[in-house]
Chain A
């Protein structure tokens, strides 16, 4: 019985040769390949949070900036992986700094040397109110309807643990929806 117990433990990777019992899988958050114990819920746990903090530091991305960007864009990152992706985009853009641009004017339009045509201020078409307004989900008597304005967006501080590198979130305590699950939900829709 002891022998079978030992064999069982060996198979489960509790001995020195237990490296065979790890699995090479991809972190669902940051897409890096990691060696993970074959635990039953198969989620890489502490790996990602630590990575996000590093990436953000390398790209000089502070927590304050993250929340500020969400406020400006009115979209959310929704996962640590998204923060890491922004950090990697910033570091990719940093390559431009190798180039000397002194004395160079920025180019905003390829047509900067052309004279663009203007037209007379004459009404040539229109009368399409129905076609236009039917695209709005909520209307009232030909008015568009919006909720009250001038109220700041309430932001829940969900990235503090990522970037302050506190005790990492474990698998059980995940935030609302990881990017992978969100994709699945949307595909099914």
Chain B
């Protein structure tokens, strides 16, 4: 297919010519060329090594595990699964049997799960090939992927800048074309944020639509396995493979979603949340207005809406996340699995404390302590329960707006393009998250499907726009996202020169 590609950044790319950009392009390429399995696997290996050297995107290279005879059978046409030979990567908090799953932490540096996450297994069953586990913020706590025991992830578009977080490694892996799609986990914006910074589609399905079995949890009531791709069509394909009921995750809904709304642009009403549309932010958000105008030009009705409690969503999330973390991290004591300290064997408490001091970084320890503070008897009423009540108000805001006023919300993902590592480190992890999660966290708290679509370049860096749909309207959201994508054609116009 003839595309105009404006090279934004030329690098020393590997010597192969695999178009690892969209599934359709890739499948047609391998159908035309007579490739051998060994050449293909070697090519994947080179791509992964390159991404690793450039961006520190991976924690482990799994191309060595790929079963060559199985791949050869696919290439010879003996089996034609839906995602045949498509290379993908997963964030290192998804368990993969017999492979180290570390959550980028010293605590789990040699932890080998006895089972594979459901979503990963479904992708493997569909013929896709897992090329590696990707780097991330330790235990998914952070918004820049710099707080990793394996070192920071850098943005393939500019390695002096962050890739976003906490699924930065997955984003870097796809953006640098070492994988066609990747899984991340989106708890407060952890996939949408790096997608915007790395020029990718970052799609977070509705809470309850995708199984979390095998995903090491951060906040059990907002975690969703989410998808990075170059084009919305691929996000839909991957979603179709991974979504659906799972006997091993009872929070994965078995009831079918409701009828989807009409997604033709001239029938869609787009809402612009006014509480976030404030003068202080304007210098960073010029593209928001231009997206709204372009949607209007193409027939959509664009109206301002009010989400009165959305400015408190971040504070609410801070409390609820810390509380869940305090509970979820309690399992790491060094006895049954994970790091075990040899500093002190005087008592269980002393050993646990030493293990947890050595195994967790400052960010994780800080959140555990904060969570336990919010859960103290004297603070529970005024922090934990209060935040849970505010969460209900936030959900009610969305319900009211979607029932009566609009079909989809349009807002930024981030304050513009990726900051430099230096700039990002000026604030500590928690304070930085106040800024980074501002636009993304409300949709997570309400469990709504949300997607980041890349639209433009500002200088040499990409930026995306966010769409949020009503609960369980995933297909509707993907349709609207595809319309927005076709208005901008980012993927065709801009690419890393690889």
Task: Give the interface of A toward B (CB within 8 A).
Answer: 26, 31, 65, 68-70, 72-78, 81-82, 85-86, 88-90, 92-93, 95-99, 101, 104-111, 114, 116-119, 128, 131-132, 134-138, 144-154, 179, 182-183, 186-187, 189
Contact (Cβ within 8 A) B253 A114: yes
CB of A143 to closest CB in B, whole Å: 11
Contact (Cβ within 8 A) B318 A146: no
Complex: chain B residue closest to A100, CB-CB:
B393
Q: Which residues of B contact A68 (CB under 8 A)?
A: 376
New A-B pairs, 5, CB < 8 Å, besides A89-B318, A92-B430, A149-B348: A69-B369, A95-B315, A99-B393, A107-B391, A135-B111
In the bound complex, CA of A86 to CA of B337 (Å): 29
Question: Per-residue CB proximity of B274-287 to A under 8 Å, as 1/0?
Answer: 00000000000000
Contact (Cβ within 8 A) A104 B389: yes
Interchain residue pairs with CB less than 8 A apart (9): A72-B372, A90-B373, A93-B315, A96-B316, A106-B389, A108-B388, A146-B335, A147-B346, A148-B347
B70 at the interface (CB under 8 A from A): no
B493 at the interface (CB under 8 A from A): no
Contact (Cβ within 8 A) B346 A70: no
Contact (Cβ within 8 A) A137 B369: no
State whether A65 and B369 are in contact (beta carbons under 8 Å apart), knowing that A101-B389, A106-B392, A146-B351 are contacts in the complex.
Answer: no
State whether A183 and B361 are in contact (beta carbons under 8 Å apart), knowing that A31-B427, A149-B348 are contacts in the complex.
Answer: yes
Contact (Cβ within 8 A) B251 A136: no
Tell which of B251, B351, B362, B374 touches A82, judged by Cβ atoms closer than 8 Å. Answer: B362
Q: Which residues of A contact B316 (CB under 8 A)?
A: 96
Complex: chain A residue closest to B425, CB-CB:
A31
Complex: chain A residue closest to B392, CB-CB:
A107
Complex: chain A residue closest to B345, CB-CB:
A147
Q: Which residues of B contact A137 (CB under 8 A)?
A: 334, 339-340
Q: Which residues of B contact A70 (CB under 8 A)?
A: 369
B204 at the interface (CB under 8 A from A): no
In the bound complex, CA of A90 to CA of B318 (Å): 9
Q: Which residues of A contact B392 (CB under 8 A)?
A: 104-107
In the bound complex, CA of A151 to CA of B347 (Å): 6
B260 at the interface (CB under 8 A from A): no
B240 at the interface (CB under 8 A from A): no
Q: Which residues of B contact A183 (CB under 8 A)?
A: 361-362
Q: Which residues of A contact B326 (CB under 8 A)?
A: 73
Binds A, one of B29-37, B299-307, B379-387: B379-387
Which residue, A75, A98, A114, has most C-beta atoms of chain B within 10 A? Answer: A75
Question: Per-residue CB proximity of B385-403 to A under 8 Å, as 1/0?
Answer: 1111111110100000000
Tell which of B338, B352, B366 touches A85, judged by Cβ atoms closer than 8 Å. Answer: B366
CB of B429 to closest CB in A, whole Å: 8
CB of B438 to closest CB in A, whole Å: 13
Contact (Cβ within 8 A) B366 A86: yes
Q: How many residues of B contact A (CB 8 A)?
A: 75
In the bound complex, CA of A81 to CA of B363 (Å): 12
Which residues in chain B, 327-359, are within 8 Å of chain A measured between CB atoms?
A: 333-340, 345-353, 356-357
Q: Which residues of A contact B157 (CB under 8 A)?
A: none
Tell which of A69, A74, A116, A135 touches B250, judged by Cβ atoms closer than 8 Å. Answer: A116
Contact (Cβ within 8 A) A76 B348: no
Q: Which residues of A contact B434 (CB under 8 A)?
A: 92
B426 at the interface (CB under 8 A from A): yes
Question: Per-residue CB proximity of B20-54 to A under 8 Å, as 1/0?
Answer: 00000000000000000000000000000000000
Q: Which residues of B contact A136 (CB under 8 A)?
A: 335-337
B319 at the interface (CB under 8 A from A): yes
Contact (Cβ within 8 A) B387 A75: no
In the bound complex, CA of A44 to CA of B161 (Å): 28
Complex: chain A residue closest to B309, CB-CB:
A99
Tell which of A69, A90, A101 touches B372, judged by Cβ atoms closer than 8 Å. Answer: A69
Contact (Cβ within 8 A) B112 A135: yes
CB of B437 to closest CB in A, whole Å: 12
Tell which of B221, B253, B360 touches A75, judged by Cβ atoms closer than 8 Å. Answer: B360
Contact (Cβ within 8 A) A82 B250: no
Which residue, A77, A105, A106, A118, has most C-beta atoms of chain B within 10 A? Answer: A106
Complex: chain B residue closest to A105, CB-CB:
B392
Contact (Cβ within 8 A) A144 B335: yes
Tell which of A65, A128, A152 touches B373, judged by Cβ atoms closer than 8 Å. Answer: A65
B322 at the interface (CB under 8 A from A): yes
Contact (Cβ within 8 A) A92 B106: no
Contact (Cβ within 8 A) A110 B335: no
In the bound complex, CA of A150 to CA of B106 (Å): 27
Q: Which residues of A contact B111 (CB under 8 A)?
A: 135
Tell which of A93, A111, A118, A152 touches B349, judged by Cβ atoms closer than 8 Å. Answer: A152
Tell which of B312, B334, B369 touches A95, judged by Cβ atoms closer than 8 Å. Answer: B312
State whether A85 and B208 are in contact (beta carbons under 8 Å apart), knowing that A69-B369, A187-B151 are contacts in the complex.
Answer: no
Contact (Cβ within 8 A) B345 A119: no
Q: Which residues of B contact A107 (CB under 8 A)?
A: 388-389, 391-392, 395
State whether A128 and B151 are in contact (beta carbons under 8 Å apart), knowing that A74-B352, A86-B369, A144-B335 are contacts in the complex.
Answer: no
The 3 closest A-B pairs by CB, nearest first: A106-B388, A151-B347, A135-B337
